[in-house]
Structure 1
Amino acid sequence: MPEVMTVRDRVAEVIAEETRGCDPGEVPERICSAAVRLLPVSGASVSLRGAGMPVPLSASGERAAYLMEMQVTLGDGPCVEAAETGTAVFATDLVGARDTSRWPVYAHQAAAAGVRAVYALPLGDGTVCVGTLDLYRDVPGALADGEVRTARSVADVMTAALVALPHGEENGPGGDGLWLSPMAMEHDEVYQAVGMVMAQRGAGAEEALDLLRGHAFAHGSTVLAVSHEVVTRRLRMDPD
């Protein structure tokens, strides 16, 4: 009799299909796509844990990318909490009292985008969290036990994939540090903008980031878009 396929076997099979023949830079996005195939979710994204905020790395589609960017802008949400605590954070009903009280602004905006549940899983070995895998669903509800095991297996594969991405000269001439996707490299502007706002306001890094976030929220924008305005000198944040 054929052996029964285990959860890890199934996860490995689907991810192998998704990533076969792709460039290293495509791996995180392909694993996000595999997560959508394996689980009852409509989207997935992955972010690295950065200084003061998550750094978006990849997503399965535009809405997942938007929801990830929203948490960067707000500095709040299941992804942020999972990265800070190193534990899985499941928001099972973003219009329910429990989740709206935890993340009122994020819950409202995510629900407005058509997402009713978010499942954020830390990437790491239990002692060090390097980022999160975030899963999005259009209907409320918890994942079943088997689905949670599948999600954790996907997160384990994602962690291993990130560790295995090219470093240094493997990333091309003049490359240094961990490989980053174009999405992540765009967020270098956020750090540049933080430095410029620190100089303009005589503020610390945390206060400068809060100012960028506040401006983004007040103008219905994202922290990335506001940072681009600051870096290109179309916006200054001098003291009033």
Structure 2
Amino acid sequence: MATSNRIAEIAAAVGEPARAAMLAALMDGRALTATELAGVATITAQTASGHLARLGSVGLITVEKQGRHRYHSLASAEVARMIESVMQIAGGVSLSRSPPRVGPRDTDLRHARTCYDHLAGALGVSITDALRASGAVEIQGDAALLSASGLERMQALGILHHGGEPRSIRPVCRPCLDWSERRMHLAGALGAAICSHALAQAWVRRRPGTRALEITPAGRIGFRRAFGVEEVAATVAFRP
């Protein structure tokens, strides 16, 4: 139950220019580091860490540690709606500077690459978005679930075989925070199977000396038919 003290606590956390700028920067759904958010708010990384701790203490942001980095994102859709409402009341003026550029500068790596044994980059994230939109995969927090309809679909496509991987101890699917997109792509047995299938069907080709992948003409058709993913110039999108 909301109390006046709780409302005042949240309002005070939002009502500071640097924190407001950082919250606005997270509105596009990406997860950002403290250094990136410090740049948005034009403050030092040390000062940003204090502000982020304050936002986390009132439940406005969450933190996910991956490797040596800590990535910050809005805690929920409810928080995003609150920030959006405040921005509308403020006159629709953006609270932050241009969004920070994240991930590799190499366009090919940003477009499509492997992340260990699964697809990443714009391609991997778009496939994940498409699977979530169709109800084939559900993602909540750091857990993911392949639905019954999703399993049937993957089996029909020949991506997963009947019986799955009974001897494997790895999860069927799990979310993995994408390095360049800063949104989730799929890892686990399903992510690996999709990558293996794409390589076997020559939908993608490995680029020598790099983790970058090239989407082939057959891949443009295959990804569209299998997942509803469309390749547009140097970006990837999906049709819900």
* TM-score w.r.t. length of structure 2: 0.26
* TM-score w.r.t. length of structure 1: 0.26
